[in-house]
């Protein structure tokens, strides 16, 4: 028995050459990337700054945190939620036709390929570049943020929509055909029930991400909570930054909790 085990062990597939080459490539890549890491010289008081940041974040400026005017954290959070929400809605709506055009099981291969490349290009351009471009259109403010968020959402949402469309179960459509349904009935009872939960779930997921990414918008003056946060940090006012971060973290945690609940419900039908 023992001999047979050892024999089987001896006959195991030998892949050391493959494994060795993969290891070498990975090690080489890591050394290469470590060689490129540089800094303008770590400041001696780095540790002190870190302590200041931590103490500021744990002693948030409560006046700012519970200030109910348009300068206070609650209003800024509301503005951020609104930008993220409307951005998601607009992005999700634009994504629907784009995704149907780029799904390889519905459209001819060349069209689908062009559509996918465009979507990838949209996804690649960083958010702040869009922000700076839209500022020329609408001027600084929450409206610019909304447009930026919409365009950024299109990149990811339509990619996930395409995957959902390509996973469509066509047998349902065939059986509806066999039962003598019209095209509209096929869409209503064959396609929508398959796609709707998936689409809604993707949109909710993207809303989560948009809320988190909304700080990027502040960089270019496109509204939301980002700008006050970055200003406070650049001016080393850590108490203010702490107050804003505390508000943001609590909000994101709550939204994530709710959205997970809804998405689990959607997935289970």
Partner 1 sequence: MSIYDKLFPPKTITLANGKTVQKKRTRMPLVILILAALTALSVKVTGFNMHTLVSRINEFFVILGQMFSAPNWSYMPKVWGPLFDTIQMSLLGSVAGAILVVPFAMLASTNVIKNNVVVTVMRLFLSIVRTLPTLVAALIATYIFGLGTLAGTIAIAVFTFAYMGKILYEEIETVDMGAFEAMEAMGATKVRAFVSAIVPQVLPSYLSNGLFCFEGNVRYAAILGYVGAGGLGLILNEKIGWREYPSVGMILIALFVTVFIIETISRAVRRRLV
* Closer by beta carbon to partner 1, 89 or else 168: 89
Task: Identify the burial level of 75 via C-beta atoms within 10 angstroms of its C-beta, where 0-12 means exposed, 13-18 middle and 19 or more buried.
Answer: middle
- Nearest-angstrom CA–CA distance, 98 and 114: 11
Distance in Å, CB of 118 to partner 1, minimum = 11
Binding site for partner 1 (CB under 8 A): 29-30, 32-43, 46-47, 49-50, 53, 78-79, 81-83, 85-86, 89, 120-121, 123-129, 132-134, 136-138, 141-143, 145-147, 212-213, 215-216, 219, 223, 226, 229-230, 233-234, 245, 248-249, 252-253, 256
Distance in Å, CB of 78 to partner 1, minimum = 6
* Closer by beta carbon to partner 1, 142 or else 173: 142
* Closer by beta carbon to partner 1, 1 or else 31: 31
Alpha helices in 139-237 (DSSP H): 142-166, 170-178, 183-186, 192-219, 226-234
* Closer by beta carbon to partner 1, 97 or else 126: 126
Task: Identify the burial level of 51 via C-beta atoms within 10 angstroms of its C-beta, where 0-12 means exposed, 13-18 middle and 19 or more buried.
Answer: exposed
* Closer by beta carbon to partner 1, 3 or else 257: 257
- Nearest-angstrom CA–CA distance, 73 and 69: 9
**Block residue for tokens 């494994």:** 19
Distance in Å, CB of 171 to partner 1, minimum = 25
Tokens representing 79 are 């503005």
168 contact partners, CB below 8 Å, separation of at least 6: 105, 191, 194, 195
């Amino acid at each position: 028995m023992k001999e047979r085990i050892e024999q089987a062990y001896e006959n195991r597939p030998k892949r050391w050459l493959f494994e060795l080459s993969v290891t070498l490539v990975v090690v080489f890549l890591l050394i290469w990337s470590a060689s490129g890491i540089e800094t303008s010289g770590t400041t001696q008081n780095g540790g002190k700054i870190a302590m200041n940041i931590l103490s500021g974040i744990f002693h948030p400026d409560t006046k700012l945190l519970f200030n109910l005017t348009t300068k206070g954290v609650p209003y800024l959070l509301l503005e951020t939620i609104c930008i993220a929400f409307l951005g998601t809605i607009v992005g999700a709506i634009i994504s629907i036709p784009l995704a149907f055009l780029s799904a390889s099981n519905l459209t001819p291969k060349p069209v689908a390929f062009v559509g996918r490349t465009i979507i990838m290009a949209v996804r690649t351009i960083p958010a702040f570049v869009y922000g700076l471009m839209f500022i020329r259109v609408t001027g600084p403010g929450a409206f610019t943020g909304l447009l930026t968020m919409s365009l950024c959402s299109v990149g990811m949402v339509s990619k996930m929509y395409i995957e959902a469309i390509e996973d469509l179960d066509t047998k349902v459509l065939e059986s509806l055909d066999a039962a003598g349904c019209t095209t509209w009935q096929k869409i209503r009872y064959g396609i929508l029930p398959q796609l709707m939960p998936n689409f809604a779930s993707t949109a909710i997921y993207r809303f989560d991400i948009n809320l988190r990414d909304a700080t990027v918008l502040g960089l270019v003056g496109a509204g939301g909570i980002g700008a006050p946060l970055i200003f406070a940090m650049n001016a080393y006012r850590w108490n203010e930054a702490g107050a804003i971060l505390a508000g943001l973290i609590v909000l994101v945690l709550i939204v994530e909790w709710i959205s997970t609940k809804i998405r689990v419900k959607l997935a289970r039908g």
